[in-house]
Structure 1
Amino acid sequence: MSTVPEPLTTPPAQPLAQQLAALGAGASLPDVQALYEPLLALQPTDGVLQLSPQRYGAHARQVLDVYRPAAQAGAACPLLLFFHGGGFIRGDKAHKANIGWHLARHGIVTVLPNYRLAPEHRWPAGPEDVAAALAWARAHAHSLGADPARIVLMGESAGAAHVAAACLMQRFGVSGIRGAILVSGPYNARLERLSREAFGIATPDPRNDAYFGTDEPEALAAMSITEQLDAAPLPLLISYAERDLLQMQVQAGELFARLAGRHGFRPELQVIRHHNHFSQTLAVNTGDPSLSGPVLDFIARHAR
Structure 2
Amino acid sequence: MNVVEHKDVAYGPFERNVLDAYLVSREDGKPTPVLIFFHGGGYVHGDKSVFLSTALMKECLEAGISVVTCNYRFITTDPFPAPMEDGTRAIQFVRNKAAEWKIDPDKIASSGSSAGGHIALWNALKGNLAKPDSEDPVERTSSAVCAFIGYGTQVSKDQRFYEGIYEGPHIQPNIAMFYGIASVDELYRPDVLKLAEEASAINFMSEAAPPIVMIYDFVFDLPRIPAEAPVGEVIHHPMHGYVLKQRYDEYGIPFVFRHTADPVRPGELVDFLLEHFG
Asked if residue 207 in structure 1 is aligned to residue 174 in structure 2, the reply is yes
Q: Does 1:189 align with 2:165?
A: no
Structure 1 residues 135 and 231: alpha-carbon distance in aligned structure 2, compared to 1, 3 A threshold: farther
1:225 aligns with 2:201: yes
Moved more, 230-239 or 247-256: 230-239
Counterpart AA for 2:154: P
Structure 2 counterpart of 1:216, from 172, 181, 187:
187
Partner residue of 1:154?
A: 111
Distance 2:243 2:13 in 1: 36
Q: Where do 5+ consecutive residues of structure 1 fail to align?
A: 2-46, 281-289
Spell out, residue by residue over 1:242-272, the C-alpha distance to the aligned partner (whole angstroms, 9 max, x if none).
45924431111111112323xx251312314
Change in CA separation of 1:255 and 1:298 when aligned onto 2, cut-off 3 Å: same
- Residues 67-89 of structure 1 show CA distances to partners (whole Å, capped at 9, x for unaligned) of 12255434211111011111111
Shift of the 143–228 alpha-carbon distance from structure 1 to 2, 3 Å rule, reads closer
Q: What's the TM-score, normalizing by structure 1? A: 0.69
Any idea what SS the aligned residue of 1:117 has? coil
What does the per-residue CA deviation read over 1:269-296, in whole Å, with 9 as the maximum and x for residues that have no partner?
2314479xxxx9xxxxxxxxx4772220
Deviation at 1:230, TM superposition (A): 4.7
1:287 corresponding residue in structure 2: none
| Identical-residue share of aligned pairs (%) | 24
1:237 equivalent to 2:213? Answer yes
How far 1:150 sits from its partner (Å)? 0.9
- Inter-partner Cα distance in structure 1 for 2:177 and 2:169: 14
Shift of 1:51: 1.9
1:131 to 88, 94, 98: 88
Structure 2's unaligned 5+ residue stretches are 131-141, 221-232
> Compared with structure 1, are the counterparts of its residues 230 and 301 closer, same or farther at alpha carbon in structure 2 (3 Å cutoff)?
closer
- Match for residue 248 of structure 2 among 251, 259, 271: 259
Q: Distance in 2 between matches of 1:58 and 1:292?
A: 39
Query: Following the alignment from structure 2 to structure 1, what is the Cα–Cα distance between the partners of residues 215 and 249?
Result: 15
Match of 2:66 in 1: 109
Deviation, structure 1 residue 146: 1.3
- Deviation at 1:119? 2.4
**What's 1:16 paired with?**
none
Residue of structure 1 equivalent to 2:138: none
Greater relative contact order (Cα < 8 A, sep 6+): 1
The TM-score, its normalising length taken from structure 2, stands at: 0.75
Q: CA deviation at 1:175?
A: 5.1
Question: Residue 68 of structure 1 is aligned with which of 23, 26, 33?
Answer: 23
Partner of 1:7: none
Contact 2:42 2:174 in 1 (8 A): yes
- Match in the other structure for 1:29: none
Change in CA separation of 1:98 and 1:274 when aligned onto 2, cut-off 3 Å: farther
Alpha-carbon contact 1:141-1:147 (below 8 Å) kept: yes
Letter in 1 for 2:12: G
Alignment of 1:19-168 (within 5 A): 47-99=2-54, 100-168=57-125
SS in 1 for 2:13: coil
Which structure shows the higher helix fraction? 1
Q: CA offsets, 1:111-164, max 9 Å, x none?
A: 001011112111122221111111111111222221111111111111111111
Deviations 1:166-208 (A, max 9, x none): 121258445543222222211122247756x9476755x5422
Report the Cα offset of residue 105 of structure 1.
2.8
Given the superposition, is the C-alpha separation of residues 154 and 236 from structure 1 closer, same or farther in structure 2, using an over 3 Å criterion? same
